[in-house]
A and B are shown apart, each in its own frame.
Chain A
Amino acid sequence: MASFAGDPPGALPKAAWVEVHSENFLCDGGVRLAMLDAVAARYPVSCHGVGLSLGSAEGLDEQHLARLSRLFNRVGPALVSEHLSWSVTEGVYLNDLLPLPYTEATLATVCRNVMRAQDAFGRQILVENPSAYLSFPGSVMREPEFLARLAERTGCGLLLDINNVYVSATNNAFDAEDYLDSIPAAAVGEIHLAGHSVTGEGISRLLIDTHSARVCDPVWALFTATIARIGPRPTLIEWDLEIPELSVLLGEAAAAQSILDGKAQVNAPDAAHVA
């Protein structure tokens, strides 16, 4: 929620909705929460969580659920989302979205946790596919199949992060188009796009989901194909590090919008440059 030079003072920025990280607003009071109140009074808010640890074998932290419920009651979010990952084990919080083996037992665990969360919040949540840097030989199903079954069994929706699909597909050598085609269209409630960074060369080459760059061309192409298949969805471009000039961000947003409006084909990246 940064302000940018060039915005007329006092004018409300034009935005369809605003997404925040839920865990950044679990404070008791102060300026930060007051700012969120002001935003929530003017825009629909999406609360995107990073700390619930839906994949924890030991179940969810009831106190964290209660803190999140309190925030959601205050903000009245239009969307609530979390990740298909884990970060908590035995009371220790590892500040990252850690990967899960896709087994029947994991599915049972995540289903139980998602249902507990939806029960505590009294609403549906969206579950986002993470970026993966490794895989588990013990997995018995592919990630889209896992997500489809999770949505079917819990009634949760999906937050489809197309950059994460591309990053995982490159790192773990699977077909991103095939993945996206396996995602049940009706379950998708939101889309994330982002840029990533590249490290290493040859067999060491790895894509890292850093949210620090423009959306790359293959991700624009996957996004275009996905929208053509499932129709438009609320779409957010994540950019958290090395934030560029506002015009670059607006260009990315305009490119995404033109694809959502069905006006752009695969030349979307060019549209991003004109803003």
Chain B
Amino acid sequence: MSLSANPETSALELPELQLQELQRRFRASVLGEDDGPVLPLVAAARGPVAARIAVYRNTVQASLTEVLAVAFPVTRRVVGEQFFANLAGRFATETPPRLPQLSAYGGDFAAFIEREDVGRRLPYLADVARLEWARGEAYFAADAKPLDAARLAALSPAEMESTVFKWHPATRLTTSAFPIYRIWEVNQLDVADIPRVDMGLAQSVLVSRAGSRLVTRAVEPADAAFVRATAAGENLAEAASLALAVDAAFDLQRALGDHFINGTYQDWET
């Protein structure tokens, strides 16, 4: 049976297969591909039916653009509101959400930026978006018991060295060839004249959750190596030696103190 708006057949049942087909056609229309196939199936009480379909399309496009604007405020500020809306709109059409859970939407946005012209003109932009996504993930990540200071203090030096520090579920490390922390930081300022940033600096940014507070901080290359090594399951001694290989001046005590305060690691199981 063919789908038709012919009054003779319009009162006929739409079998289930056709409901699926209708939804397929509606999707194409809402994602801005083509209105043609869905138009014979729908009607407006007055005025052009295409204007009615457009309400749904506008809602989908505008709400997804808004979701991305909230998730990537610095990326948006760097490229400007109009440019961002255009970029986000194209991303939404190309990569619509797979999950009905909008806090999970936008994980591919950085890779999309990299493939776009703007990603070549502003080579740091995709990494800035990665950092913003890491912050979002950290915000929604599972809760876990933080490191226990008393437990740590009770370890003998040998026990300490063989302990494997486990990342808190909210911990994220973003490494870049660009000063992404500095870019992120200056764009937090509510001023029209954003300070100039030295683009020669490569930065790693560690995002973590200390209690209810989201912490975003630049870490030295040696500390980044340390954090990365612990994620790979290296114990404290091994992670420290990898960090020292990057920078002989790496101060383990100081780094551990910072990680303790900022919630990088969770309590370990015995």
Query: Which residue numbers of A lie inside 8 Å of B, CB to CB?
Result: 23-24, 26-32, 34, 50-53, 55-58, 61, 64, 67, 86-96, 98, 100-101, 103-106, 108-109, 133-138, 140, 171-173, 200, 202-206, 208
Contacts and interface: CB of A to CB of B under 8 A. Distances in A.
Contacts of A93: 96-100
B15 A105 contact: yes
Contacts of B212: 30-31, 34
A135 B45 CA distance: 8
Contact of B139 (A26, A30, A51, A92): A30
B188 to A, nearest CB: 19
Contact of B97 (A28, A55, A92, A135): A92
Given A27-B139, A90-B24, A206-B55, 7 more contacts: A30-B141, A34-B212, A57-B17, A96-B63, A101-B19, A172-B45, A173-B45
Which has the most chain A C-beta neighbours within 10 Å: B11, B19, B139? B19
Contacts of B26: 89, 98
Interface in B181-200: none
B11 A140 contact: yes
Interface string B1-37: 0010101001111111111101110110011000000
B14 A133 contact: no
Interface string B141-172: 11110000000000000000000000001100
Nearest first, the 9 A-B pairs at minimum CB distance are A51-B100, A27-B140, A29-B143, A173-B45, A28-B142, A57-B20, A137-B10, A134-B52, A203-B47
A273 to B, nearest CB: 31
Interface residues of B, number: 58
Contacts of B15: 105
Given A134-B52, A206-B51, A57 B27 contact: no
B27 A138 contact: no
Interface string B68-103: 000000000000000000000000000011111111
Interface in B116-146: 139-144
B5 to A, nearest CB: 5
B20 A58 contact: yes
B177 interface: no
A24 B63 contact: no
A28 B142 CA distance: 4
B30 A94 contact: yes
A92 B27 contact: yes
Contacts of A29: 140-144, 169-170
Given A26-B101, A29-B143, A98 B30 contact: yes
